[in-house]
Amino acid sequence: MADGKTFVLVHGSWHGGWCWRRVADRLRAKGHTVFTPTLTGVGERSHQLSKDINLDTHIADIVNVFLWEDLRDVCLVGHSYGGWPTSGALEKIGDRVSSYVVLDGFVPLDGQRGIDVTNPDMRAATLAAIERGEAGRPPPKAAFFKMNEADQAWVNSKLTPQPTGVALQPIKLTGARERVKKKLYIRAPIYHQPAFDDAYERCKADRAWKTLTTDVGHDVMVDKPDWLAQVLIEAA
């Protein structure tokens, strides 16, 4: 397809590139190019879990996809935690991104840390894992994400511990995210996360962003792949 677009889809905590399979299949079937990188220490890269992994590690994971694949004019998508490393990556490859989508995720501000803005339960779990000397924070069950029952066993079998170090490093932002011309925030409000409510309201009040809501759980790419694929094509 002459008008095929390029997508880089970045997963959230405990997940991996696997969670985008349904959306990626639908986008590719329509002639688009799709990359679904798995961040260091999770998913099929869970054997790399280490206390040395920090936010810069995950930012580099994304940046290197762009550099090694020579990507330009990309729709970059960050789900949940993915809003952190994608925001950081834009500082380095923002000129290669034509549209940016945050899917039920964080829109961090300069100097913030993940541990400071997540909900109290997640903060406590991260601190407890660090206290135990563990490199990763254990995943919750898929039901926590308000996921449809049919997919919960599959998702539970794929979730892996999230590196704790990524939540401890302050993010450095200089406005590259704001310079992306097309931006969309998608909120799944049945999943309780005050930080996402705040991000949604901030984006809704900013004319540079478009906003949408959806009626399924947090893992929209699993629960509603047809809808999400079409939304991403229109956002790109």
CATH number of the domain to which 77 belongs: 3.40.50.1820
Catalytic residue among 46, 80, 87, 99: 80
Active site residue 80: yes
55 neighbors 85 (Cβ within 8 angstroms): yes
Note the pLDDT tens digit of each residue in 95-136.
999 999 999 999 999 999 999 998 888 889 899 999 999 999
- pLDDT at position 118 is 87
Q: Is residue 39 included in any domain, yes or no?
A: yes
- pLDDT at position 83 is 98
Distances (CA, A) of 230 to 6, 17, 30, 159, 181: 14, 19, 10, 26, 20
Note the pLDDT tens digit of each residue in 196-232.
999 999 999 999 999 999 999 999 999 999 999 999 9
Amino acid at position 88, single letter: G
* Residue in this structure with the two tokens 């040395």, named with its chain if needed: 52
Two tokens, residue 15: 């997940």
Q: What is the DSSP letter of 17?
A: G
Q: Is residue 1 pLDDT above 50, yes or no?
A: no
- pLDDT at position 120 is 86
Whole-number Å distance between alpha carbons of 86 and 77: 8
> 2 falls in which pLDDT band (50, 70, 90)?
low
Distances (CA, A) of 58 to 55, 85, 110, 128, 200: 5, 6, 17, 22, 24
- pLDDT at position 99 is 98
Backbone region of residue 131 per phi and psi (left: phi > 0; alpha: psi in -120 to 50; beta: other values): alpha
Note the pLDDT tens digit of each residue in 134-153.
999 999 999 999 999 999 99
Q: Is residue 1 included in any domain, yes or no?
A: no
Minimal CA–CA distance to 97: which of 72, 65, 69? 72
List the domain range (segments joined by +) for residue 57: 6-235
Residues 6+ apart with CB under 8 A from 89: 59, 62, 63, 66, 76
Q: Is residue 51 pLDDT above 60, yes or no?
A: yes
- pLDDT at position 122 is 85
Q: What is the DSSP letter of 74?
A: E
Note the pLDDT tens digit of each residue in 148-191.
999 999 999 999 999 999 999 999 999 999 999 999 999 999 99
Q: Is residue 3 pLDDT above 90, yes or no?
A: no
How many domains does the chain fold into?
A: 1
